[in-house]
Chain A
Amino acid sequence: MTVTIEVPASVPAQLKKPDGDPGGSDALAGTLYTAAARYEEFADRANELQTLGSWTGIAYAAYKDATATASGEHAAMGTTVRRVARGVTGFADTLRDLLRDHEDLLERKRGLDHRRTALIADINATPGATPGEIAAFRERSVDLRADYSELVTADDDLQRRVRENETLLRQVFQAADTLSESTSADGGIPPLAESAMNRPGAPGSGATPEEVKAWWDGLTEAEREAVIAAYPDRIGQGDGLPADARDQANRILLDDDLSRLAAKERDDTLSPLERSILANAQQARDSLANADAYTDPLDPGLEPGGTLWLYDPAAYDGDGRVAVAVGDLDHASDVAIFAPGINTDMADTTSYTDKMMNLYESTRYNGDGSSVATMYWLGYDAPDGPLDLATLTEGRAEDGGRNLSDAIDGLRASRSDDPAHLTAIGHSYGSTTTSYAVNGNPDVDDVALLGSPGAGPAHHASDLGPGADHVYVGRDSRDLVAVLGDEGWIGKGGLGLGTDPSSEDFDATRFEAEDVDRSWHRNTGDAHSSYLDSDTESLYNLGLIVDGHGDDVNVAAQSYDPWWGPPQDPEWDRDPTADQPGRSDTTAAR
């Protein structure tokens, strides 16, 4: 009896590679950014030349009108060219993704073809197959057919996305190919993006993070790509949006600043603010490069990647706002958000990103195997230093707390179906900011305050959202800043910024955080700044907290203020440790 086993054909016959060269597209975008810089320079110069000292009369009035018009038109054209350039950058980014997906499909097809060849060979090698063998061959054939079918669907999807990406690029150019369009307020914005952005719930419209999330969920893939490229400033700061979307948008803004301002720097036409913006952009670029290249300490094949979650380099007179994450904020099981203290602006981004890698490593190395993301968040105007009067009051912390609370709400809303274990960490003045953010706010699971001058509005750990059992405090006994908070019935006369969170009165869980190289006296140097250094007690315990195992921290006795004398710190006389397993060992590499 002849038995027929239908082996499926190898389909699709061809996996068409997306046309185009991302590098070439990036080069085109760079040229456009440079052209935009030239338009801006012309506009600025025309504006400067409007006033010519003592000139008067009809001719001068006409001259002023003409220069004003020229300035305005060139400024508008510069904006339009920037939008087109951003569209090209977005096209290049998407094309890169598409090419990567194409490679994945090729690999899948190679695997399926290998299985098909093996099936045919096995069938041919079994002329007198038993009913059981025949059934097994048929089952393999059915499975193979289903997998080929999935591949065809995936290829169709890829080709559709390729067409949509090309359509979007065409629309970007078509929206700026006449003089009236290039000088209009929406020149270079494709209709697809404009219509999507006009729907209720779009970021920047006053919508809540939950509404923004719903708006995003209602967009098609093409609309998402369109709004990222056309409105990167609104998408990049859209609380409630996936971190990946924010990252794509902010990287477009970053490319814009780097290329355009570098052109102006070559022409020596940078304003002082633009010079700060360019320096901030370079910090963001370098931080992202480091984060993107970071390798997971437990899995050499895993690069968790970097995310530019917030990018606003002109904020606060050029100090800038920025948030850079190490790891996948959209999918990591454990997410930490870290707020820095005084003396911090965007110029410190590479340094703090490095600290986020330390925290990531400690969490993974001593953790339960869960995935991790750690984010440096400078979303507020941190005081410039100890002599900045803002350091002495809680105003910046209160404002920053609102921003941080919004950021936390945004992170939560973006993952409403898949909530991460979320830890908020604040250092120095940033700990006061963090206290304001989580005071009565249950959206974080754990809170850690480091080197804190005071817990701001919270007088007791139970005032903070996650509850007293989930509030942790790290304080080096030599940390001068951390002894300034109020404790005891006398307090410290309002020296600090609220209650000392390491004190008995506050009653948080204090964990070991002594620096092994500590000095004999209190200081604002290493004693205040080593909480995130490798192989320290502090970083070890923070890793456990971020991993969701705060119950396992090595507990330190709380400070207290007896009626008969000055405040006491029981940690003062304890010998600190470094690199000790189960206590201060945080690095996988040796």
Chain B
Amino acid sequence: MTRARLHRIPLRLLLALTLALGLAACGDRDPADSADDLAAMKAAVNAELRDMASALTGSGLAVERATGRVESEGMSTYRAEDYRASAVVVGEGPEGDQVDRAATALEEAGWSRTSDGLDASAPWAQLERDDFRTTIGWTKVGERELVLTLDQEGEVEVPTDTPPVDRDNSEDIALN
């Protein structure tokens, strides 16, 4: 080891301390707490989706086939799970008009459009309300459908030895 490298060791110990403090701040969570937080997130997202469905139905659009799915996130030093919901929106007219009509209906329900001015290759809108974000767009794969997805800010930290969730874990969400 060179002299220069030896001189770096104390600094690198500082790095270790910094990283350790960073990790300690995160901590490894109790699985039960994670499960409780995920259940709360599911309930909040599903309730928000029902609220959105009501707003869209009033504008002449229909919301069908709502589902929710848990996704595994993170790697290495941090692992988490996130819950997202999606629903098929059915309406009439050109694709761009349907997206705009859905976004307008949500704006009237208190959502703020955040996608104005952003480039996109297809009709698309994104809105936020409180700590929720929704994306409205047309599917590119399979049957062409207008779909809105709903995500709550943040994710639920889980213990780092948690196995990934089954990728096909979708569950239907009752809209009524």
Task: Tell me whether B133 and A578 are in contact (CB under 8 A).
Answer: yes
A selection of 9 A-B contacts at a CB cut-off of 8 Å is A340-B75, A350-B163, A351-B72, A352-B75, A494-B5, A523-B22, A528-B76, A578-B135, A581-B137
In this assembly, does B153 line the interface, its C-beta being within 8 Å of a C-beta of chain A?
yes
Interface size class, chain B: 35 or more
By a CB distance below 8 angstroms, the chain B residues around A585 are 137
Task: Tell me whether A525 and B9 are in contact (CB under 8 A).
Answer: no
By a CB distance below 8 angstroms, the chain A residues around B118 are 577, 580, 583
Known contacts A495-B14, A588-B141; A525/B77 CB under 8 A: yes
* For the complex of A and B, 4 pairs with smallest distance between CB atoms: A386-B19, A494-B8, A392-B12, A524-B22
Known contacts A350-B163, A494-B8, A533-B73; A528/B78 CB under 8 A: yes
Q: Which of A341, A348, A517, A534 contacts B154 (CB 8 A)?
A: A517
Known contacts A354-B72, A387-B16; A298/B141 CB under 8 A: yes
CA distance A385 to B24 in the complex (A): 12
Q: Within the complex, what minimum Cβ distance (angstroms) separates B90 from chain A? A: 14
Task: Tell me whether A392 and B25 are in contact (CB under 8 A).
Answer: no
Task: Tell me whether B141 and A297 are in contact (CB under 8 A).
Answer: yes
Smallest Cβ-Cβ distance to A523: which chain B residue: B22
In this assembly, does B86 line the interface, its C-beta being within 8 Å of a C-beta of chain A?
yes
A-contact 0/1 string along B121-136, CB 8 Å cutoff? 1101010000001010
In this assembly, does B23 line the interface, its C-beta being within 8 Å of a C-beta of chain A?
yes
Task: Tell me whether A496 and B15 are in contact (CB under 8 A).
Answer: yes
Q: Within the complex, what minimum Cβ distance (angstroms) separates A447 from chain B? A: 19
By a CB distance below 8 angstroms, the chain B residues around A516 are 133
Add 5 more A-B contacts to A495-B14, A526-B80, A588-B141 (CB < 8 A). A342-B77, A354-B167, A386-B15, A588-B142, A590-B139
By a CB distance below 8 angstroms, the chain B residues around A290 are 164, 167
B-contacting residues, A195-210, CB 8 Å: none
Q: Is the interface of A mostly helix, strand, loop or mixed?
A: loop
CA distance A300 to B118 in the complex (A): 32
Task: Tell me whether A392 and B79 are in contact (CB under 8 A).
Answer: no
Q: Within the complex, what minimum Cβ distance (angstroms) separates B97 from chain A? A: 18
Smallest Cβ-Cβ distance to B155: which chain A residue: A517
Q: Which of A342, A392, A582 contacts B13 (CB 8 A)?
A: A392
Q: Within the complex, what minimum Cβ distance (angstroms) separates A384 from chain B? A: 12
Task: Tell me whether B78 and A524 are in contact (CB under 8 A).
Answer: yes
In this assembly, does A481 line the interface, its C-beta being within 8 Å of a C-beta of chain B?
yes
Task: Tell me whether B155 and A526 are in contact (CB under 8 A).
Answer: yes
Q: Within the complex, what minimum Cβ distance (angstroms) separates B164 from chain A? A: 4
The residue among B15, B22, B139 with the most chain A CB atoms within 10 A of its own CB is: B15
Interface residues of A (CB under 8 A from B): 286, 290, 294, 297-298, 300, 340-344, 347-348, 350-355, 357, 365, 385-387, 389, 391-393, 427-428, 480-481, 484, 493-496, 516-517, 523-526, 528-534, 577-583, 585, 588-590
Task: Tell me whether B76 and A342 are in contact (CB under 8 A).
Answer: yes
CA distance A392 to B118 in the complex (A): 42
By a CB distance below 8 angstroms, the chain A residues around B5 are 393, 494
Task: Tell me whether A357 and B167 are in contact (CB under 8 A).
Answer: yes
Smallest Cβ-Cβ distance to B165: which chain A residue: A354
Smallest Cβ-Cβ distance to B69: which chain A residue: A589
In this assembly, does B120 line the interface, its C-beta being within 8 Å of a C-beta of chain A?
yes
* Number of interchain pairs (Cβ within 8 Å): 156
Q: Within the complex, what minimum Cβ distance (angstroms) separates B72 from chain A? A: 6
Q: Within the complex, what minimum Cβ distance (angstroms) separates B106 from chain A? A: 16
Task: Tell me whether A582 and B153 are in contact (CB under 8 A).
Answer: no
Known contacts A365-B140, A580-B115, A582-B121; A529/B75 CB under 8 A: yes
CA distance A550 to B135 in the complex (A): 26
In this assembly, does B49 line the interface, its C-beta being within 8 Å of a C-beta of chain A?
no
In this assembly, does B102 line the interface, its C-beta being within 8 Å of a C-beta of chain A?
no
Q: Within the complex, what minimum Cβ distance (angstroms) separates A564 from chain B? A: 23
Known contacts A351-B164, A365-B140, A526-B73; A581/B12 CB under 8 A: no
Smallest Cβ-Cβ distance to B162: which chain A residue: A351
In this assembly, does B39 line the interface, its C-beta being within 8 Å of a C-beta of chain A?
no
In this assembly, does B116 line the interface, its C-beta being within 8 Å of a C-beta of chain A?
no
CA distance A572 to B12 in the complex (A): 25
Task: Tell me whether B25 and A523 are in contact (CB under 8 A).
Answer: yes
CA distance A353 to B7 in the complex (A): 39
A-contacting residues, B16-69, CB 8 Å: 16, 18-20, 22-23, 25-26
By a CB distance below 8 angstroms, the chain B residues around A393 are 5, 12
Q: Within the complex, what minimum Cβ distance (angstroms) separates A39 from chain B? A: 33
CA distance A428 to B78 in the complex (A): 12
CA distance A293 to B77 in the complex (A): 27
CA distance A121 to B53 in the complex (A): 59
CA distance A343 to B159 in the complex (A): 13
The residue among B76, B118, B121 with the most chain A CB atoms within 10 A of its own CB is: B76
Smallest Cβ-Cβ distance to A451: which chain B residue: B76
In this assembly, does B107 line the interface, its C-beta being within 8 Å of a C-beta of chain A?
no
CA distance A85 to B7 in the complex (A): 55
Q: Within the complex, what minimum Cβ distance (angstroms) separates A576 from chain B? A: 11
Q: Which of A392, A534, A581 contacts B120 (CB 8 A)?
A: A581
Task: Tell me whether A495 and B26 are in contact (CB under 8 A).
Answer: no
Task: Tell me whether A590 and B149 are in contact (CB under 8 A).
Answer: yes
In this assembly, does B92 line the interface, its C-beta being within 8 Å of a C-beta of chain A?
no
By a CB distance below 8 angstroms, the chain B residues around A578 are 133, 135, 151
In this assembly, does B119 line the interface, its C-beta being within 8 Å of a C-beta of chain A?
yes
The residue among A348, A385, A493, A526 with the most chain B CB atoms within 10 A of its own CB is: A526
Known contacts A526-B80, A582-B120; A494/B19 CB under 8 A: no
By a CB distance below 8 angstroms, the chain A residues around B137 are 581, 585, 590
CA distance A297 to B147 in the complex (A): 17
In this assembly, does B110 line the interface, its C-beta being within 8 Å of a C-beta of chain A?
no
In this assembly, does B96 line the interface, its C-beta being within 8 Å of a C-beta of chain A?
no
By a CB distance below 8 angstroms, the chain B residues around A357 are 167
The residue among A350, A365, A386, A532 with the most chain B CB atoms within 10 A of its own CB is: A386
CA distance A343 to B28 in the complex (A): 13
By a CB distance below 8 angstroms, the chain B residues around A298 are 141
Task: Tell me whether B26 and A525 are in contact (CB under 8 A).
Answer: yes
